Structure 1
Amino acid sequence: MSLSKRFVNLQNLNYYLLPLSHSKIIGNWLSSNFHQNSAYSSKMSKFIEVPIQAEKLLKLTRSTVIPKLNATGSSGKQRHKGQAGRIGVIGGSLEYTGAPYFSAISAMRVGADLAHVFCQRDAAVVIKSYSPELIVHPLLDAEDAIEQIAPWLERLHVLIIGPGLGRDPKIQKTVISLIEHCKHINKPLIIDADGLFILNENIDLLNDLSNVILTPNAMEFRRLFSDDVDVMKQRMARLGAGVIVLEKGPQDKIYIPSTSEIYTLPAGGSGRRCGGQGDLLCGSIATFFHWALESNQSNAAFVATFAASYLVKQCNAAGFEKWGRSMVASDMLNEIHIVFRNVFEETN
């Protein structure tokens, strides 16, 4: 895609993100960013927080991102198994088996066709017992883990790194090598949980990567970027130009380090913050991410992150309405179908 065409697409997306009062300012930032064609500009004095027009962005997602079921491709043939998404999850240890399951199964519930989990051997049988839909590879702690996992990565559209990973130094070393491999094959990445812990001391791993989404909660965000705005900017300056950051909270925020913009997403959900919600979010982002890339969205990571954030908060609200304080992540998972249909497939 040419630079001029890409800029036109971003100006079009601008209509969905911003109220009119911001459009001229953001247009100037975008123009500056493209002409510089560089990552973070250290001259910016602060991050600029920008609201979005959620309904317009939801309309964009419905109309151009989500693939139609049984749609035909350019060859005139119906889509086949795998085209709607082949998602991989790097994670799963003896102590943490639920997180990779929730990430993988939520990707499928949103609409991906296949989900692979690459876990430690002790976790494999447990994860597999949760669902026959998942393809589980007990390879993460193998001596030749990289050699065995690498051929599978070529087949996957998006890779999630971190759910249930644990902090074993040997596993962390393997994951660092996997990220380096993903850099060579331009694999879109979502990094969460203990994947973010690895980045605390290895943030330069993200240099030269594109299509990367980090999903820290408030505590993980502080560990990775600090509370101090100046330190935060310095840390974010070390991210590649193709990296965005979703800070999870009552109102999720998307940071665009290359332009010093923060987009505040709609509030939602409930006061019930059950474990596993972040894993559902990762899986949901992965499927939307593949769809956004496949539909040639120039801001694929942004669109996918917004859509998944909105979906999961609505699932939390729907689950809480039924179960209240006793709601768990499995209850939210069961809400994906109806919420997805209401939000993304039914229009007024």
Structure 2
Amino acid sequence: MNFVLGTRRIPEKAKRVVVLVQNQIGEARFGAELFRDVLKLSVFLKPRPPPHLTIQGMVLMKHVMSSQQLSLLSYANTCMLMASSSVYRRQQFLIRSLGGGIDHSRNMQQDLRSVEVDAESVIRSITPALDPTRHKGQAGKIAVIGGCREYTGAPYFAAISALKIGADLSHVFCTKDAAPVIKSYSPELIVHPVLEESYSVREEDKKTISRKVLAEVDKWMERFDCLVIGPGLGRDPFLLDCVSEIMRHARQTNVPIVIDGDGLFLVTNNIDLVSGYGLAVLTPNVNEYKRLVEKVLSSEVNDVDATQQVLSLAKKIGGVTILKKEKSDLISDGDTVKSVSIYGSPRRCGGQGDILSGSVAVFLSWARQHIIAADPNSNLSCKNPAVLGCVAGSAMMRKAASLAFCHKKRSTVTGDIIECLGESLEDICPAT
């Protein structure tokens, strides 16, 4: 067979994988022709040589291919990626995979399936119905702890995303300097100018002001279904000390917390704030994840065995849920690992992590309500609301980003993605 994708020839070892797959299912068309057909549907198909087939291409083919074909295609794609790499350990992985023959390929398929998750099914299961008998607040009350004089956009993005997903109320607790700016962005948000930074506080007044800050947040705490801590928070020492106390009180009152941005800086330097708290979610990007791994596991990031490492990291922190943001988001609570590979956007504008944190907060609160209600018709195998919230939030963010990019291409910004959240959710879970 002569396997060619565009102007790029498939590596020789990958040809053997495709032949192996072809023999496995007896499908004469399951070869270069099918790979080419998938690429024609993929947004990656450009005049330049296309990259190897990705999981996004398989998602586009899900309606015309059987689950067995998808699993086998996933295995072939994995080996193609490994074979095209010059990194020795990846070459060895491919050789081991091929050396095991068909039985080994079946094991590989099972491993891949155990990580992937049907995110849209999760969203449909946990999203509450729009019922005229419900009252304000039942669909979620979210609070964002963040916003300082340097950063006002991030807390707004997180808070407004929560509303666009479907939360009823969204609060922002920020510094006094940031409050007027955030208020001007939207009248939909409830903004509390209660946080203080070191430059505005005398040393002898810090304890008194810290108690006042905590008391102001405390009187609202039990009303909230989830806190988002970190967007636009900054790294002022006094401000971080106050937020640390807020996090401790959230744990005492059993309020879920989603930690992003500078909240991750705070947690990385004080793991005890979240250690052992099953309703805590960490959403690190590449660099934040690297710092967490170095701090908690005292090792370097392992890209070859990323699934096992994120599992170990979550377990080491005591069962918190980690959403590792990358090409395919990995989600683990220390017991299981889920992967969300829905195609997003190649446009990497700032603020997408803030949308994600606000979205996860809403879905986490909905998942918690769903599990507490103990719906007998629920088909959810996972019962951890933090994991379910991460799966749903990741998928929603990716779907909205993809839709926004289809409209705006290179000019896509965070506000465009936020405006696509409602349409994306409606596509998965219609309101009527």
TM-score range (shorter-chain normalised) is 0.7 to 0.9
Deviation at 1:53, TM superposition (A): 3.8
Deviation at 1:234, TM superposition (A): 7.0
Q: 1:303 aligns with which of 372, 388, 400?
A: 388
Q: Residue 286 of structure 2 corresponds to which residue in structure 1?
A: 218
Runs of 4+ with deviation above 3 angstroms:
228-238
Match of 2:123 among 61, 81, 85: 61
Offset of residue 247 of structure 1: 0.6
Name the CA distance, whole Å, in 1 between partners of 2:420 and 2:313: 37
Post-superposition offset of 1:174: 0.6
Higher relative contact order (CA 8 A, sep 6+): 1
The verdict on how the C-alpha distance between 1:231 and 1:317 changes in structure 2, with shifts beyond 3 A counting, is closer
What secondary structure is seen at the aligned counterpart in 2 of 1:58?
Answer: helix
Residues paired across the two proteins, number: 291
Task: Quickly say closer, same or farther: Cα 1:339–1:234, change in 2 above 3 A.
Answer: closer
SS in 2 for 1:87: strand
Q: Does 1:94 align with 2:130?
A: no
- Cross-structure match for 1:244: 321
Residue 407 of structure 2 is aligned to residue 322 of structure 1: yes
**Secondary structure at 2:371 match in 1:** coil
Residue type at the aligned position of 2:120: L
- Counterpart of 1:337 in structure 2 is 422
Q: Provide, for residues 290-327 of structure 1, a one-character-per-residue CA deviation record: whole Å limited to 9, x for no partner.
A: 11101117221111111111111111111111111111
- TM-score normalized by the length of structure 2: 0.64
2:314–2:333 CA contact under 8 A, matched in 1 = no
Aligned residue among 40, 47, 52 for 2:116:
52
Letter aligned with residue 329 of structure 1:
T
Corresponding residue for residue 214 of structure 2:
146
Superposition pairs for residues 1-348 of structure 1, below 5 Å? 50-54=114-118, 57-62=119-124, 64-70=125-131, 78-141=133-196, 142-143=209-210, 144-226=212-294, 227-228=300-301, 236-241=314-319, 243-257=320-334, 259=335, 261-296=336-371, 298-345=383-430
Q: 1:232 to 1:281 in 2, by over 3 A?
A: closer
Q: CA RMSD in A?
A: 2.2
CA-to-partner distance for each residue in 1:95-128, whole Å, 9 max, x for gaps?
1000000100000000000000000110000000
Contact 1:207-1:240 within 8 A present in 2 as well: yes
1:185: how far off? 0.6
Q: Which has the larger radius of gyration?
A: 2
Q: Deviations over 1:236-290 (max 9, x none)?
A: 444123x110011121111222x2x432211411210111111011111111111
SS at match of 1:190: strand
Q: Write the letter of the residue equivalent to 1:224.
A: L
Contact 1:163 1:194 in 2 (8 A): yes
Residues 170-225 of structure 1 show CA distances to partners (whole Å, capped at 9, x for unaligned) of 01101111111111111111000100000111012213422111101111100111
Which letter maps to 1:255? Answer: S
- The CA distance in 2 between the partners of 1:52 and 1:237, in whole Å, is 20
CA contact (8 A) 1:250 1:267 kept: no
CA distance in 2 between counterparts of 1:291 and 1:235 reads 26
Task: Provide the rounded CA distance (Å) in 2 between the counterparts of 1:233 and 1:252.
Answer: 13
Corresponding position of 1:26? none
Mapped to 1, the partners of 2:316 and 2:174 lie a distance apart of 29
1:44-73 CA deviation, whole Å, 9 max, x = no partner? xxxx8742242xx422431x31111125xx
Instruction: Please give the alpha-carbon distance, in whole angstroms, between the structure 2 residues aligned to 1:234 and 1:346.
Output: 39
Cα distance change on mapping 1:111 and 1:246 into 2, 3 Å: same
Q: Distance in 2 between matches of 1:255 and 1:237?
A: 9
> Contact 1:183–1:208 at 8 Å: present in 2 too?
no
Contact 2:332 2:387 in 1 (8 A): no
The residue type equivalent to 1:138 in the other structure is P
